[in-house]
Structure 1
Amino acid sequence: MTGAEDTVRLWLVSDQWSGPALAGLLAVLDRDERLRAEAYRSAEDRRRFVIAHGAVRHIVARRLGAAPADIRWRYGPHGKPELAGPHTGAEVNLSHWEAVAMVALSPSRRVGVDVQRVLPMPRLNATAMAERYFPPEEARFVRETADPSRRAEHFARLWARKEALVKAHGGRLTQGLRIPLLDSGTGSAANPDDAWSRDYRVVDVPAPSGYRAAVALSGTEDFRVTLHRWARPDRATSRLHAQPTRYT
């Protein structure tokens, strides 16, 4: 039976923020996050950045008993954020694409989460992208799917698995894309340089319609996933799945 330390909590973050509520999320961001938000040319992209990063701070702060504005980050050699300063004791990761943001929180195991939009032709050529980035078996799996919409779905699911793995590890995306993950589970890289991938679990998780998502966790032990909805900082999150999903 898995213990509490093997439960990954995922939050889908509501996109319905504006006015004073949005200003409240902006207020808890640090200087670096505000500069990154200001760098977006689109007001909508700025708004969604503030929502996603403000939500992370509130979720982590609630877990650690801290004020959201007091959360501090340090960044790995490839840009992965990790908790720093006086408030640590958890592993956290964020993914957001357009209106969908997802936050993953693990008490002790390195965690990565990724959300991908399913983009059919002509917005994305799934076959060409798979041929360019994926191992031959996965490229063939995408290419030989007759239905174009299914090709796009297969590509998005595989990309989400790979990016979640890379984000958990803190490495380069180009390194993770070559790791075979046609079957979710541990990595099966043949290259000794990628042997680290065998020390992670990668699984698909529920996502809104038109998206695919995956979470990766360090270690090969069993774990559970609970999915919640985060809509406002002054209320407990709602549980979307009453029973946690167990991955063995």
Structure 2
Amino acid sequence: MTGAPDTVRLWLVPDQWPGAALAGLLAVLDPEERRRAEACRSADDRRRFVLAHGAVRHLVARRLGVAPEEIRWRRGPHGKPELAGPFTGAEVNLSHSGSVAMVALCSSRRVGVDVQRVLPRLDATAMAERYFPPEEARFVRTADGPDSRAERFARLWARKEALVKAHGGRLTQGLRIPLLDGGAGSTDHPADSWSRDYRVADVAAPPGYRAAVALSGTGAFRVTVGRWTWPGRSTPSPAVPCSYP
């Protein structure tokens, strides 16, 4: 008898908040996060940084039963933030693109999430030829029109970046791994054998965006996608099972 699938919970973080709410989120960030916020090039980028990172802290704190300002982070070998010190019992990842931010939480499996804006003006064919395996480059190139090519490129890029973020490696590792059919990474390159121990699934995203989530392990998992509302309430959707052979 097998157990129930693991669940990864995703939250979309709204782009606009009243000034008082934004100040409250800024107050829970640590000094390094505040320095990074101040270094943002525009007021919009700064606002989105504070919203996304403040939301992460509130979501993790709610899961662990601690105050959001108490959360501490460490950096993995390639810069992926991980919970540090006494804070265990959750795996978390954050992605943002354009005006959309998405947070992923899982109790027991390493998780990566990525959201990509679809950019019809992007030369998707050239980008795919440069970064993707030949079959995927052909898949992008043969799409009907620039909008479709951009959509295919964004979908594949989101899968690859989610996989790399779950693993904690370099993006260049993930870009060469075939993920045209989703599911597990499959490659004959010995250096990429780690990808076989992960699962990738497309997830719902706002119009004009594509998103994916990746989890360590080969077992099935379920996904919920909800909308985060400060200070920590959310509106999750029903779980969607994601199963692989």
Q: TM-score, normalised by structure 1?
A: 0.95
Contact 1:223 1:246 in 2 (8 A): yes
8 A Cα contact 1:15 1:99, kept in partner: yes
Alpha-carbon distance, 1:97 to partner? 1.2
SS where residue 58 of structure 2 aligns? helix
Structure 2 unaligned regions, length at least 5? none
C-alpha distance in 1, partners of 2:127/2:112?
A: 22
Distance in 2, Cα, partners of 1:98 & 1:31: 25
2:169 corresponds in structure 1 to 171
Percent identity of the aligned residues? 75
Contact 1:2 1:222 in 2 (8 A): no
8 Å contact kept, 1:2–1:223? no
Where 1:49 maps in the other structure, the secondary structure is: helix
State the 1:45 CA deviation. Answer: 0.3
Deviation at 1:16, TM superposition (A): 1.8
Q: Per-residue deviation at 1:13?
A: 0.9
SS in 1 for 2:225: strand
Offset at 1:146? 2.3
Structure 1 residue 158 and structure 2 residue 156: aligned? yes
Q: Give the TM-score normalised by the residue count of structure 2.
A: 0.96
Unpaired stretches in structure 1, ≥5 consecutive residues: none
Shift of 1:2: 4.9
Deviation at 1:98, TM superposition (A): 2.1
1:244 maps to 2:245 = no
CA contact (8 A) 1:2 1:224 kept: no
Task: Give secondary structure in 1 for the equivalent of 2:44.
Answer: helix
- Tell me which amino acid in the other structure corresponds to 2:234: T
Q: Please list every run of at least 4 consecutive aligned residues from structure 1 whose deviation after the TM superposition is greater than 4 angstroms.
A: none
Which residue matches 2:231? 233
Paired residue total: 242
One-letter identity of the residue aligned with 1:137: E
Deviation at 1:89, TM superposition (A): 1.2
Q: Residue 103 of structure 1 aligns with which residue?
A: 103
> 1:25: which partner in 2?
25
Residue of structure 2 equivalent to 1:58: 58
Contact (CA 8 Å) 1:225, 1:245: kept in 2 or not? yes
1:82 aligned onto 2:77: no
8 A Cα contact 1:201 1:218, kept in partner: yes
RMSD: 1.1
